[in-house]
Chains A and B, each alone.
Chain A
Amino acid sequence: MSQDKQVLAGELQRHGISRRSFLKFCTSMASAMALTPAAAVEMAQKLSTIRRQSVIWLSFQECTGCTESLTRAHKPSLESLIFDFVSLDYHHTLQAASGEAAELAREQAMHENGGQYILIVDGSIPLKDGGVYSTIAGISNLDMLKDVAKDAAAIVSVGTCASFGGLPKADPNPTGAVAVADIIDDKPIINIPGCPPMPVVMSGVLAHVLTFGIPELDALGRPKAFFGDSIHDRCYRRPYYDRGEFAKSFDDEGARKGWCLYELGCKGPITHNACATIKWNNGTSFPIQSGHGCIGCSEPDFWDMGGFYKPLSTGTSNPGQWAGYALAAGAAAGLASAAVNKAAKAKADKVHQPVTIEDMGKK
């Protein structure tokens, strides 16, 4: 491979991508991440001279939804990311090799790029019963993660499963699923949650990692540029919430008028993601725009928030039922206490000795 092909500029040229389109891509990424216009130029300069970045992609307890989402990134397409920016050395779904050849590719990439490759993980890691619930080539997810993470430069957890445990961790968590950050604590980890995560977020974060390094993260390890605001804060239906105009069902007048979906269980107020601003399918729409409340998929334990259609202000357990039990128990305890008090009173009455005026005169 010639030197020219090892840097992105040459690679782009080879693919017939003009400098103009490349600059447009950098500008859209920089703008999506709220970077300055100067940063777009810097990103373009750095990206065009960057050497192919080795990436190892591990898929654990997942549904491949994240990969499906990412291969549909509109700007840039994942194809361009994978084949132009990075050298995707190992990815179950996308690689041609299988079986031992695939595992060999992973080991080779680890060996050749030790300390420099980026590890991308989608899916949670089962810990229960020695991690038998998910293995690849006979290796448990836990062992493989530890092994590959050891020499990684950084880890990107793609999807809510890898970021927070996701669906496999949902109560009662039969496989003992945990997130990547629950296991690895000595490497920089970027969480890109979502079920699935937004393709543009993934592309943007990768571009940022390749050019400026790890982006600024929030307390849950999510890039602030994309997860800094809640869906609710950026929702075009927010004025209806502020006015107290809510759809009561999915087909009532309020729903037709596009009123707020809070009463129908929207989790937008507590969900941090970029759906309301960047939107999906080439900026076409996002769940709330299509008439369904946000399910909170980019937050930890979103599956255990009491149900997608229960408003945020309700309990997740069944307090009414417990109140019934407590009422019965309280009544029983009250009656028992009354009986004890009555007995004490009767006893006191029995031993009571009236005091007369004469008694008081006695010394």
Chain B
Amino acid sequence: MNEIELLNWARGPGLTYATIFMVFGLTLRVIEILSLGRPKELAEVRDSGVRDGWRMVIMRSLPERRNWKRITAAYLFHVGLLIVVFFFIPHTQFFRDVFGVFWNGWPNYIIDFVTVVSIAAMLYTLAQRLFDPARRILTTIPDYLAWLVTFLPFVTGYMAFHRLGVDYTLMLALHILSVELLMIALPISKLTHAVTFAMSRWYLGSNNGRRGIHV
């Protein structure tokens, strides 16, 4: 298989398989989670918990003050990820092709800068897991794998854009394949939080509220 064949596979069957796996898996998981419902309340319910649910969704999305370095890194990475995925011009072309909706991308130099910042932030979070004794104990192999499959699209995309390392065709193919790997990992790892984070926060907050704990 030559580079073009690999690229054509990644843009064709590879993308189809990854899309099917990701959408099927995420839908299945979300419905399963929702269908579990709540456990039976053994004590009297004190509040509907709706307000506390929404509060938790917002509160947990705002920065804490405990560890500003980690939080900055986490914010930079997550915001950077969203910017790069949705505002790099070739990516907007992809979304227009799939969903038929179009929005303007951002200039390449901004995307380039955001990518570098995101990569640095990811490396920082990895270093923390590796060198902080408590975090190292808490980190499992799947955690490292989740980090890796998120990191690879950034690096391959950056290298492809700047024509670093191997030929562009191969690097573009590797970039698309790395995204497909991420798509496959989404429903079967903790990366599912990309779609469940809001509902799990709401659930936690409302549970607290129902028990009379108002944060």
Contacts and interface: CB of A to CB of B under 8 A. Distances in A.
A327 B27 CA distance: 6
A127 to B, nearest CB: 18
A244 B25 contact: no
B24 A315 contact: no
B11 A306 contact: yes
Interface in A103-153: none
B143 interface: no
A329 B24 contact: yes
A316 interface: yes
Nearest to A326: B23
A316 B8 contact: yes
A61 B46 CA distance: 80
Contact of A330 (B7, B12, B23, B172): B23
A361 interface: no
Contacts of A219: 2-3
Interface in B1-41: 2-5, 7-8, 11-13, 15-16, 19-32, 35-36
B15 A311 contact: no
B23 A313 contact: no
Contacts of B190: none
| Size class of the contact patch on chain A | 35 or more
A244 B35 contact: no
Contacts of B21: 326
B163 to A, nearest CB: 7
A358 to B, nearest CB: 19
Contacts of A241: 108
A174 interface: no
B108 A317 contact: no
Contact of B31 (A232, A233, A322, A335): A335
A20 to B, nearest CB: 41
A300 B5 contact: yes
B11 A327 contact: no
A317 B23 contact: no
Interface in A296-342: 299-302, 304-306, 310-320, 322-323, 325-327, 329-331, 333-335, 337-338, 341-342
B91 interface: yes
B103 interface: no
B32 A334 contact: yes
A286 to B, nearest CB: 19
A257 interface: no
A314 B15 CA distance: 10
A325 B19 CA distance: 10
Given A243-B107, A319-B19, A313 B32 contact: no
Contact of A322 (B7, B20, B89): B20
Interface residues of B, number: 45
A330 B26 contact: yes
Contact of B163 (A233, A263, A323): A233
A280 B26 CA distance: 51
Given A300-B5, A330-B24, A333-B24, A315 B97 contact: yes
A270 B169 contact: yes
Contacts of B97: 310-311, 314-315, 320
Contact of A244 (B26, B28, B105): B105
A326 B106 CA distance: 31
A11 to B, nearest CB: 40
A243 B105 CA distance: 12
Nearest to A306: B11
A341 B8 contact: no
Interface of B: 2-5, 7-8, 11-13, 15-16, 19-32, 35-36, 89-91, 93-94, 97-100, 105-109, 163, 168-169, 172
Q: Which 4 A-B residue pairings sit nearest by Cβ, starting from the closest?
A: A334-B31, A330-B27, A338-B35, A313-B90
Given A326-B24, A335-B35, 15 more contacts: A219-B2, A243-B109, A262-B90, A270-B168, A306-B12, A312-B90, A313-B94, A314-B98, A319-B16, A319-B98, A329-B27, A330-B24, A331-B27, A337-B28, A341-B32
